[in-house]
Amino acid sequence: MYILKGLYTIKKDGKYGFLSSKPDKIFVEPQFEDFKWFSFEKVELISIKKNGKWGCIDTIGNIAIEPQFDDIGETSEGLVQFKKDDKWGFINKTGEIVIEPQFEIANSFKEGFAIVKKNGKYGIIKHPILFSNQ
């Protein structure tokens, strides 16, 4: 069992769900094959795996991004890394593609920049929303 900001994970019949410590009741029934969260300070979305695909729920249990991706990464600066057909891209918190999947590697954004690898070469990209007016 893991805990984060008053949320506990529960596992039943090989599936994960979430339990709230306030009030002490299940708020997401066990239905996910796997889950991951990355930041213990500012979790906005919890990545979940259902039917072999990754998506996200918010911290009250609502589906924020339908499970549809091969993998999903960290939520950072309003964007989420996602993997589709062996390439990484970025979506916003509602699942809208902001940067098309094109990278072999894509790190999360930190202070407006992300390190990526494309065609075997590393580079740095600017956050498309933070720098949209420049």
Q: Which residues pair with 11 in a beta bridge?
A: 16
Q: Report the pLDDT value the prediction gives residue 94, as an integer from 0 to 100.
A: 85
Whether 68 and 41 have beta carbons less than 8 Å apart is answered as no
Lowest mean pLDDT among 5-14, 70-79, 97-106: 5-14
Q: What is the dihedral of CA 75, 15, 9, 81, to 10 degrees?
A: -10
Q: What is the pLDDT of residues 72-89, one digit of tens each?
A: 988 888 898 999 999 999
Residue 10 predicted with pLDDT over 80: yes
> In percent, how much of the chain has pLDDT > 90?
51
CA distances from 91 to 18, 74, 87, 123, 124 (A): 24, 11, 13, 19, 18
Whether 17 and 29 have beta carbons less than 8 Å apart is answered as yes
CA distance 131 to 27: 38
pTM listed for this prediction: 0.83
Residue 1 predicted with pLDDT over 70: no
